[in-house]
Structure 1
C-alpha cells in the first residue's frame, strides 16, 4: 500500500477510534438490558458472582463478534459524515487526491479489523460462546428460559450406521446428561439391544462413562434378556460432545475442531451438517464483510447532504439492518432447505459487494 501520509494516519486513527468507542458505548447498554431481564432469575437461583462476571465477559465477546458489522458500518458513517460536513473531504479531493486514493486508509483500517475479527472468531469467540450458552442452559429459568431449555433438549444423535443415542437434557459443567438411551441395530436394521439410564456422567480421568439407573434390554429370537444395575461404568464409542445440544455445539469449537467435527458428523450421516457448515463459513464471511461495509459506508456518507449527518445515519442504519436481515434469512434457509450452505452464507456479501461497487462508482463522479 505504500507509506501512510499524515492524512492517511488521521483517517485511520479516526476509523479505529470511532469503531472502538462505538463498541464501548453499545456493549454496556446490552449488558444493562440483559441484567435487567435476568436479575430476578439470578437472585432466585443464587448464582455466584464469579459465574455472573464470567458470563458477562463471554456475553461481551459473543455479541461484539455477532454485531461487529453493524458497529463498524455505523462508526464509519459517523466519522466520515463529520469529515464531509466539515468540508474536509472536499479539501482532500481538491488537493489532487483521487477518491480511490482517499479510500486507502479505510481499506487499511478494514484490514486490521478484519484480521482481528478472524482471529477472534477462530480462537476466542468459540470459548466465549461455550461459556455464554452453558450459563443460559444451566441457569436460565422462567418462561423464556424454559423455551431455551426446550430448544437445547432432546438431543438425538447417530453415532455410526448402527448406533444411536438420545438424551433429554445436558449439563456441560457437570459433564452429565439425563434420560439417556443407547440403541444398537444390526445390518438388517433390527434392534440388537437398548440401554436406558436416568443419567450418564463422563469421567475425564478414567475416560469412561458412569450410568445411573442402568437398564439393558437385549433382543433375543424367542425372548428378551433384561439387565439392571444402580450404577454401571462402561466405555462408549462416542465423545462427550455427542451429548451436547446441537443448537450451539458448532459455535463452541475452534476452526480446526469444527472442521474435524464436521467430517466426523458427515461420516455418521448427521442431518445437521448444514447448520455446522453455516457456522464454519461465517468464520470467513464476517471478516470479509468489513471491507464491503466500509466501502458502502464511505460511498454513502462522503457527500455533504442538506439533512446533514442524520440522513447519512438513517441510510446507514437501514442498510446495516438489511444486511443483517439477509444474513439471518439465508442462514436459516441453508439450515432448513436444500440451499448449499456456502452459497447461502456468501450471498449477502455478494449482493452487498455489488451494491458497494455501484455506490463507489457514483461516489467517484
Structure 2
C-alpha cells in the first residue's frame, strides 16, 4: 500500500476506535443512571454489576458497530473534503476507484472483526447480559412464553402444557402423546401438572393417567402421583426468548435444526438471528460506500450537512431492518428476504450515490 492508502486507512480505523471509546462509556453511564434504582432495590451484587457492564459493552457495542462505522467514515471523509485533500488526491491522477481502495481494506478489517464478534464473542456476552437483566432489572417478568406450549420432541413424541412456571419448573395440564411407526396413537399420558425434581433428576406427575391404545381395546392406568423420566429437559418446554442470541455459529445451526424437527412455531425468529449475523459484516461495506459517497464532496454547509444526511440514512436503514425483522418474527415472511431487502436497497442506493460522487 502507498502513503495515501496508509493515511486514509489509519484515519478510518482511528476514527472508528475513537467513536467506540466516546459513545460506549456514555451508553454505560446512561444505562447505569436509568437502572441503578432497580439494582439497589433488588440487591444486585457489585461483582455481578461489573460483569453485567462488561457484557453490556460487548453486546450493545456489537449492535451499534454499523452506526459507529458509518458516522466515523462521514466524519473523517468530510474533514478530508473540507481541507481539499480529496481534490488534491484526485487531481494527482488517482482515480476515484483507486481512492476507495483503503476504505474497502478498512471495511474488510471491520467486517472480519464483526464476524468473529457476532459469531463467537457476543453470544457468550448475551448470556450474562440477559440473565442479569431478567434477574435484577426485569425481576418478575417472564423471559419466555408461558402459556399454551406445544412441542414436538421427535418424529413420534409430542408434549403440551397449558401453562408453565419457569421459576418453580412446573407445567400445568400436561399431555404426552407417542405415535407408532404407522403414525397412529400408541399411548397418551395426561397429568394435572408436571414438576422437575432436580435433586433426583426425575419428573413428578400429579393425577397421572396413561391410556394405551390397542386395535380393539384400551388400557387405562391411573395414579395419584408418579415419579418417572422423560427424554426431554424441562426447559425444552419453552426456551428463553433470547436463546438464539446466546449460541455461537455452530450451536445456532444445530439448535435451529432441532427446533425445525420439533415443529417450533417461532422458528423464524431463530433463523432471523442467524441471517442477521451473516449480514452484519456485509453492512460494513454498504455503509462504507454510502458514507464515502455522501461525504467526499465539499458542501456549503460543511461537515454538519454530511452528518445530518448520514444520520437520516442510518435511521432509515435501522427502520427498514426493524420493520422487516418484525414481519419475519410475527408472520410467515421469509427471514432471508427480511435480511436481504434492506441490504439490497441500501446497497443500490450506495452504488447510485457513488456514481453521482464520481461525476
Under a length normalisation based on structure 2, what TM-score does the superposition of the two structures give?
0.88
1:135 to 123, 132, 137: 132
Establish whether residue 108 from structure 1 lines up as the match of residue 105 from structure 2.
yes
Using the alignment, how far apart are the partners of 2:235 and 2:288 within structure 1? 38
The range that moved more, 42-51 or 105-114, is 42-51
1:164 aligns with 2:159: yes
Question: Match of 1:279?
Answer: 273
Aligned ranges 1:206-245 → 2 under 5 Å: 209-211=201-203, 216-219=208-211, 225-228=222-225, 232=227, 234-239=228-233, 242-243=236-237, 245=239
In the alignment, structure 1 residue 200 sits paired with structure 2 residue 196: yes
Residue 235 of structure 1 deviates from its aligned partner by 3.8
Distance apart, 1:35 and its partner CA: 1.0
Runs of 4 or more off by more than 6 Å in structure 1?
none
Change (3 A) 1:240 1:66: farther
Task: Report the Cα offset of residue 326 of structure 1.
Answer: 0.6
Measured against aligned partners, the alpha-carbon deviations of 1:43-70 in whole angstroms (never above 9, x if no partner) come to 1111111111111111111111111111
Mapped to 2, the partners of 1:36 and 1:351 lie a distance apart of 38
After superposition, the Cα gap between the structure-2 partners of 1:214 and 1:31, relative to the gap in structure 1 and judged at 3 Å, is farther
Shift in alpha-carbon separation, 1:191–1:74, aligned structure 2, 3 A: farther
Report the CA distance between 1:185 and its aligned residue.
1.6
- The one of 59, 63, 72 equivalent to 1:62 is 59
Q: Does 1:355 align with 2:352?
A: no
Give the TM-score of the pair, scaled to structure 1.
0.87
Unmatched segments (≥5 aa) in structure 1: none
CA displacement at 1:32 relative to structure 2: 1.2
Q: In the alignment, is the contact (CA less than 8 A) between 2:191 and 2:205 conserved in 1?
A: no
Residues 153 and 169 of structure 1 are in contact (CA less than 8 Å); yes or no, is this contact kept in structure 2? no
State the superposition RMSD in angstroms: 2.5
Hey, what's the Cα distance between the residues in 1 that align with 2:69 and 2:172? 45
Q: Deviations over 1:293-339 (max 9, x none)?
A: 00100000000111110000000000011111111111111112222
User: Deviation at 1:98?
Assistant: 0.8
1:103 alignment partner, SS class? helix
How far apart in 1 are the matches of 2:298 and 2:315? 23
Q: Give the whole-Å Cα distance in 2 for the aligned partners of 1:295 and 1:133.
A: 34
- Give a deviation string over 1:83-110, Cα, whole Å, max 9, x none: 1111111111111111111100000000
Distance in 1, Cα, partners of 2:106 & 2:208: 61
Distance 1:22 1:257 in 2: 32
Q: Distance in 1 between matches of 2:170 and 2:16?
A: 45
Mapped partners of 2:39, 2:187: distance in 1 = 45
- 8 Å CA contact 1:165–1:180 kept in 2: the answer is no
Structure 2 gaps of 5+ residues are 213-217
Secondary structure of 2:62's partner?
A: helix
Give the deviation of 1:169 after TM superposition.
Answer: 4.2
Q: 2:39 aligns with which of 28, 34, 42?
A: 42
Aligned mates of 2:25, 2:160 — CA distance in 1: 41
Where do residues 112-127 of structure 1 align in structure 2 (5 Å cutoff)?
A: 112-127=109-124
> Is the CA contact (8 Å cut-off) linking 1:193 and 1:216 kept in structure 2?
yes
Shift of 1:162: 3.1
Whether the 8 Å contact between 2:145 and 2:241 is mirrored in structure 1 is no
Contact 1:192 / 1:219 at 8 angstroms: preserved in 2? Answer: yes
**Which secondary structure state, in structure 2, belongs to the residue aligned with residue 96 of structure 1?**
coil
Listed one character per residue, the Cα deviations across residues 97-156 of structure 1 (whole Å, up to 9, x for unaligned) are: 111111000000000000010011111111111111111122224xxx55xx24534173
Which residue of the other structure, out of 269, 287, 304, is the alignment partner of 2:298? Answer: 304
Deviation, structure 1 residue 183:
2.1
